[in-house]
Structure 1
């Protein structure tokens, strides 16, 4: 059964998939820095995605409510920050609608709110990454993985059932900093996410090919030998966790702006293992492979979603569980026949390409 899709629907599908791929591309690139380069058992990665969302829905949005409180009070006759329970349950959409109207007429205000939110997300993620570096220095890999997993769940549960964080179970409606783009908002946001993805890729690629990146690989492959040669393992782990966590926080903020809504209950451990699945499929220790894994994952995900009714008629199974089965089979096949992923880890570039070619020719 061939699904008929008109051009406009296909464009929307391409746009929405590309935005998600760009956001999760940043997320998986940060995971690759920890897992592929450093070899850390990062099983609590979703925590930093959630912290990025908290920075937007729980901090930046409250700042916006404080700044525009006089306008909101004059139009709705309420003070949102004085009674958060009532605001979260009854007045969110009205209050945020007023802020969106302001942003639609003032692009600079919207952009200021956006960059403030991204900065807060990076800082919050980075700070928690440094805090988690303490246990990373003292625990064995298996215990560290368990601790990170439990920490992520703790953050999710506390934030979900604490309205003061991001409106708890109600979820937090967040202002749209790109409301001034109007009909072109989604295409504009695609450009924004692609720019952040490109910046993240360039930074991590240069980092991976630097002496710092070579040291990370040395620590991953032979920690004792790296320590003997004078590498400070503590400093490297702290820097890696801080950098990767800050990037994951940015990804969480971008995801929140994509949804224009933050529901902390969505940041379940499955989000961590989705990132691992993408990384395993694409290849660890390779930024291009990591991005390719994200693309492959979401292309398959979208195809299965489009044909879910046909799948249901053929095998009579819930399409969601069928997706889990398919990805489980793919991961097993990758681990059996190509454990290095689609693109294997490449040697570190220490010289320019033309210099390497010249040296090979001379040899």
Structure 2
């Protein structure tokens, strides 16, 4: 049965899906750098997405509360940071509304808040990525995967049940830095996330086709040979983990600003394995393939959500579980018949033969 969808609702559906595609595109591209290029068993990827959310909900929001506490006190008669439990349970929405009103009248303040949040999210996640590089140098692949998975769960549990961090189980309402856009805010945020995705794709494409990217592939395929040829494996792994983690932190911050809310309990391991599913379907070692995997995932997810009642009447399965079944089957089929994904890895782009010969003559 074909459902009749209102054109206005269809436009909104497309816009919201495009925003999520851009955010998760950044997330999956960063995973591809670790898995597709370097071959790390990154099973704790959601940890760095959570750190981006933690930065916005637990750090920069508190900075905004401190900056505007006089205005908040004059209107609500409270100091939010003086009694964080009371603030989290009773005054979040009123307080954030006051800050949003300030941002709506001052685009500069809202933009500075957004840039500060993105920068700190990248720094915090990048630092944790460097810290995780230590175990990455000493553990075998299977043990490293287990450690990263456990580390992600540890951070989720600690931040969820520690109210002073990001309001714990209540979740943290965050200010909207683009309140000044008014009714154009949804489309404006789509443009911003698309710009971040484009920048990420350009940077990683240039990185992957550089000598650095070719060295990563060499380490992935033959680590001993790479060592023999003088490649410092430690430095390469540290740089990759720092870069990919920072990008994941940016994606986490963008996701929180999309929802204007963050609950640290939402960052379950499923987020890691959804990213893996997207990457496997699209193709590891190929940035365009990774984005195609994200697009395929969201296309199927939206189709299932639209026709969920029809699906329920036919197969008598909850659409949520049916979605997992479909993607499980898709991954199995890809691994069986096209293990390289829809778009497999391609050789790194190098200079043409004519340019190389010209450079040799100049030398």
TM range (shorter): over 0.9
* Whole-Å separation in 2 of the counterparts to 1:15 and 1:166: 29
Any stretches of 5+ residues in structure 1 without a counterpart? 359-363
Counterpart of 2:204?
A: 204
**1:3 shift after superposition:** 1.0
Alignment of 1:87 onto 2:110: no
**1:354 shift after superposition:** 9.1
Segment drifting more, 309-318 vs 267-276: 309-318
Counterpart of 1:361?
A: none
**1:6 shift after superposition:** 1.6
Deviations 1:283-319 (A, max 9, x none): 0000000000000000000000000011111111110
**1:237 shift after superposition:** 0.3
Counterpart of 1:62?
A: 62
Deviations 1:79-137 (A, max 9, x none): 00011000000000000000000000000000000000000000001000000000000
SS of the counterpart of 1:325? helix
Aligned length: 357
* Whole-Å separation in 2 of the counterparts to 1:347 and 1:97: 51
**1:265 shift after superposition:** 0.7
Counterpart of 1:349?
A: 349
Deviations 1:196-240 (A, max 9, x none): 000000000000000000000000000000011110000000000
**1:7 shift after superposition:** 1.2
* Whole-Å separation in 2 of the counterparts to 1:206 and 1:353: 19
**1:351 shift after superposition:** 1.4
* Whole-Å separation in 1 of the counterparts to 2:2 and 2:110: 43
* Whole-Å separation in 1 of the counterparts to 2:165 and 2:309: 39
Counterpart of 1:14?
A: 14
Counterpart of 1:97?
A: 97
SS of the counterpart of 1:81? coil
* Whole-Å separation in 2 of the counterparts to 1:72 and 1:115: 23
* Whole-Å separation in 1 of the counterparts to 2:49 and 2:287: 19
Counterpart of 2:271?
A: 271
Any stretches of 5+ residues in structure 2 without a counterpart? 359-363
**1:352 shift after superposition:** 5.7
Counterpart of 2:172?
A: 172
Deviations 1:124-171 (A, max 9, x none): 010000000000000000000000000000000000000111100000
Counterpart of 2:243?
A: 243
Alignment of 1:190 onto 2:190: yes
* Whole-Å separation in 2 of the counterparts to 1:164 and 1:227: 46
* Whole-Å separation in 2 of the counterparts to 1:13 and 1:339: 32
TM-score between the two structures when normalised by the length of structure 2: 0.97
TM-aligned CA distance change 1:315 to 1:230, over 3 Å: same
* Whole-Å separation in 1 of the counterparts to 2:277 and 2:118: 26
SS of the counterpart of 2:349? coil
Spell out the pairing of 1:115-126 with structure 2 (5 A cutoff): 115-126=115-126
Spell out the pairing of 1:1-363 with structure 2 (5 A cutoff): 1-351=1-351
SS of the counterpart of 2:231? coil
* Whole-Å separation in 1 of the counterparts to 2:237 and 2:346: 22
Root-mean-square deviation (Å): 1.2
Runs of 4+ in 1 over 4 A off after TM superposition: 352-356
TM-score between the two structures when normalised by the length of structure 1: 0.97
* Whole-Å separation in 1 of the counterparts to 2:84 and 2:315: 48
